[in-house]
A and B are shown apart, each in its own frame.
Chain A
Amino acid sequence: MNKITKLISALAFGALSTSVIAQDQATSLDQLLKQLEQGQIAQSQENKQREAEFNARKAEQDNMLVDARNTRDQAVNRSAELEQTFQDNEIELGNRIEALNKRMGELKELFGVLQQVAGDARSKFTTSVVSAQIPGRGEFLDQFAQSMGSTSKLASIEEIERLWFELQREMTENGKVHKFNREVVAADGAKSNQEVIRIGGFSLVSNGKYLEYIDETGSVAELIRQPNSRYLDSAQALTTSNGDVVPFALDPTGGSILSLLVQAPDTQERVDQGGAVGYVILAIGAIGLLIALERFITLFLVGNKINRQLKTDVASNDNPLGRVMLVKDENKNADTETLELKLSERILAEVPKITSRLTLIKIVSVVAPLIGLLGTVTGMINTFQAITLFGTGDPKLMAGGISQALVTTVLGLVVAIPMVFISTLLNTRSRGIINILQQQSAGIIAERAESEELAKKGA
């Protein structure tokens, strides 16, 4: 089809160009007419010739078409053949793979087990303190597990035997208490070469201090916060012993309990968690304690002096009861009513000295838990602010805030409980003294007067 259109366009072009040539040469209308006539004749001749040529080549075109069809059929046949071969090969391949899998069956299971064991052993070695003594076990296990995981590589017998050896070595070392020298990072960051004692797979101890093994850096560091002295003593005993049997406190989790110890806050940090409110409570408590101490001493001294006064008849000026008794000596001849008035006047002057500042202690004991409550509420507000900012997703975030809030309550109670006790003690003491002054002083004076009279009569 394409060829035919090209042919036609070529023919049209040829006709145009001849007519253009004829036009150029025409000088008169007659001549033009003549030329046109001639041109027509020439054109028809040419067309005939072309038709003849075209008819002559038609057979050739037919031949070409047949050839092309043949070629196509051949190609289709070849494609079908190749497809068949491909399918055959595919089946063959499937069969071969199946056969391979059948033959590999148990071996593959073995590789799976090896990979799993290597992975488990790797994670176990990560936390094991034995790694502090024998470094570099982890890398081998990593490589081994990787090569087991990939299908292209097979494990060699040496590698499998090495895994067995490492497991056996871990087991054997777990049953030993072993001394060795290695670099230890102290709590202040200084590094030094020390003798380290490893107790099975449980703890590392050096110079009476507990150590921790950090797998990421492969280093051994002193615990920043050491356990109680009870446990440190046992570690010290182990360091200095020469093969004797020593009781020792070990960490059965292989270091994770000891590492949690670092996170647990001590008393100082606990108090700091209470914040400003906590310090206010403690300050109030300290003030209350000082006042209570001063009151204790004063009341104790006054009480002693009154007891001494009760035993003698001679009124002295150094205690409240003595001063009340002096009223009688000062007004020897007064009648009873005047004496009673003078007595109550003197007693009224003495009582405030004894009861002063006792209400303050009572107030401290009441106010301290209230401030503690205030701290709790402000702490809770902070916690809820954290929740509005970060959401409830992280319980750790909230738990920290809540434990801080509770610290102030604890501080409030810790101040209030002894204060309640102290204020009761002080109140009973002062009430006893006041009772003696208010209800017994007149009686004592009367007793004294009577015994004097008796003495006079006797004389």
Chain B
Amino acid sequence: MVLFIELMNSIREFLDTGGQVLTVIAGVICLMWLLIFERLYFFFVGYQQMKKRMVQAWQNRAERSSWNAEQIRIANVSRVTESLNNNVALIQSLVVLCPLLGLLGTVTGMIEVFDVMAISGSGNARSMASGVSKATIPTMAGMVGSLSGVFIVTWLQRKTKRRTEQMEDALPLAH
């Protein structure tokens, strides 16, 4: 319990030194990882069930060579691709947003630094320090968040493409 409180305190301290932008970045990163975990769950559980169901329905068909059968097959593959692609674009946009938010934090922090300079002159480095930490910490956080997501996103995209092809192979047309 004490450990938990200490942890929360250090997190709160970190968020305070980083300013409001850091809180937004934290929210974006949380959302991004929630979506990533949802995707991973779908890939390993939901997709398998979906595939099994579709392959079974296809095998149960009487004929698999007419125009109707071909169109139904295309529609089924498209449905699978759609559910595989679900949220991947959103995750990708969140990955792009992280460094942008970091940049926003940098600029607002720099404005604070220059405000301090405009009021007190450039002599006092100590009074500028809070602005500088507000400028640098969000950039770092944005970079870290973006990097943590970028590998997963490329992996997800590649996986989606492979799975689509596998699905097409699993529903063969009879000639």
CB distance from B149 to the nearest CB of A (A): 14
For the complex of A and B, list the 3 residue pairs with the smallest distance between their C-beta atoms, beginning with the closest. A443-B75, A424-B93, A399-B117
Contact B122 A446 (CB under 8 A): no
A193 contacts chain B at the CB level, 8 A cutoff: no
B114 contacts chain A at the CB level, 8 A cutoff: yes
Among the interface residues B79, B114, B122, which one has the most CB atoms of the partner chain A within 10 A?
B114
Q: Known contacts A395-B117, A395-B121, A439-B78; can you find 6 more A-B pairs with CB under 8 A?
A: A399-B115, A403-B114, A413-B100, A435-B78, A435-B82, A447-B75
Contact residues in B for A395 (Cβ distance below 8 Å): 117, 121-122
B72 contacts chain A at the CB level, 8 A cutoff: yes
Contact B90 A446 (CB under 8 A): no
In the complex, what residue of chain B is closest to A418 when comparing beta carbons?
B97
Contact residues in A for B121 (Cβ distance below 8 Å): 395-396
B110 contacts chain A at the CB level, 8 A cutoff: yes
Contact B114 A450 (CB under 8 A): no
Contact A446 B79 (CB under 8 A): no
Name the interface residues of B61-76: CB closer than 8 Å to any CB of A: 67-69, 71-76
Interface-located stretch among A29-37, A106-114, A183-191, A404-412:
A404-412
Q: How far is the CA of A445 from the CA of B68 in the complex (A)?
A: 8
| A-to-B contact residues, CB < 8 Å | 260, 263-265, 336, 395-396, 399-400, 402-403, 406-407, 409-410, 413-414, 416-417, 420-421, 424-425, 427-428, 432, 435, 439-440, 442-447, 449-450
Among the interface residues A260, A427, A446, A449, which one has the most CB atoms of the partner chain B within 10 A?
A446
Which of the residues B69, B93, B104, B118 comes within 8 Å of A420, measured between beta carbons? Answer: B93
Which of the residues B67, B87, B103, B104 comes within 8 Å of A336, measured between beta carbons? Answer: B67
Contact B67 A432 (CB under 8 A): no
Contact A443 B111 (CB under 8 A): no
In the complex, what residue of chain A is closest to B89 when comparing beta carbons?
A428
Which of the residues B72, B108, B115, B118 comes within 8 Å of A443, measured between beta carbons? Answer: B72
B119 contacts chain A at the CB level, 8 A cutoff: yes
B101 contacts chain A at the CB level, 8 A cutoff: yes
Contact residues in B for A399 (Cβ distance below 8 Å): 114-115, 117-118, 122
In the complex, what residue of chain B is closest to A443 when comparing beta carbons?
B75
Q: How far is the CA of A409 from the CA of B104 in the complex (A)?
A: 8
Q: How far is the CA of A413 from the CA of B103 in the complex (A)?
A: 8
CB distance from A290 to the nearest CB of B (A): 21
Contact B118 A439 (CB under 8 A): no
Count class of interface residues, chain B = 35 or more
B107 contacts chain A at the CB level, 8 A cutoff: yes
Contact residues in B for A440 (Cβ distance below 8 Å): 74-75, 78-79
Contact B75 A442 (CB under 8 A): yes
27 contacting pairs across A/B (C-beta < 8 A)? A264-B115, A264-B119, A336-B67, A395-B122, A399-B115, A399-B118, A403-B110, A403-B111, A410-B111, A413-B104, A414-B104, A417-B100, A420-B97, A421-B94, A435-B78, A435-B81, A439-B74, A442-B71, A443-B73, A443-B76, A443-B78, A446-B67, A446-B68, A446-B72, A447-B68, A450-B68, A450-B72
Contact B72 A400 (CB under 8 A): no
Contact B90 A428 (CB under 8 A): yes
Contact B104 A406 (CB under 8 A): no
Q: A402-B114, A417-B97 are in contact. Are A409 and B107 (CB under 8 A)?
A: yes
Q: A421-B93, A427-B89, A444-B75 are in contact. Are A410 and B104 (CB under 8 A)?
A: yes
Contact B89 A424 (CB under 8 A): yes
In the complex, what residue of chain B is closest to A438 when comparing beta carbons?
B78
Contact residues in A for B96 (Cβ distance below 8 Å): 420
In the complex, what residue of chain A is closest to B61 when comparing beta carbons?
A450
CB distance from B62 to the nearest CB of A (A): 10
Contact A406 B110 (CB under 8 A): yes
Q: Main secondary structure on chain B at its contact with chain A?
A: helix
Which of the residues B76, B107, B111, B117 comes within 8 Å of A413, measured between beta carbons? Answer: B107
Contact B101 A446 (CB under 8 A): no
Contact A439 B75 (CB under 8 A): yes
Contact residues in B for A407 (Cβ distance below 8 Å): 111
Contact residues in A for B104 (Cβ distance below 8 Å): 410, 413-414, 417
Q: A396-B121, A424-B89 are in contact. Are A447 and B103 (CB under 8 A)?
A: no
In the complex, what residue of chain B is closest to A264 when comparing beta carbons?
B115
In the complex, what residue of chain A is closest to B78 when comparing beta carbons?
A439
Contact B114 A406 (CB under 8 A): yes
Contact residues in B for A439 (Cβ distance below 8 Å): 74-75, 77-78
Q: How far is the CA of A435 from the CA of B83 in the complex (A)?
A: 11
Contact residues in A for B87 (Cβ distance below 8 Å): 428
Q: How far is the CA of A410 from the CA of B122 in the complex (A)?
A: 23
Contact residues in B for A449 (Cβ distance below 8 Å): 68
Contact residues in B for A336 (Cβ distance below 8 Å): 67
Among the interface residues B71, B82, B101, B114, which one has the most CB atoms of the partner chain A within 10 A?
B71
Contact B118 A424 (CB under 8 A): no
Q: How far is the CA of A417 from the CA of B28 in the complex (A)?
A: 11
Contact residues in B for A444 (Cβ distance below 8 Å): 75
Q: How far is the CA of A231 from the CA of B11 in the complex (A)?
A: 25
In the complex, what residue of chain A is closest to B82 when comparing beta carbons?
A435
Which of the residues A263, A402, A416, A446 comes within 8 Å of B71, measured between beta carbons? Answer: A446
CB distance from A228 to the nearest CB of B (A): 14
Contact residues in B for A416 (Cβ distance below 8 Å): 100
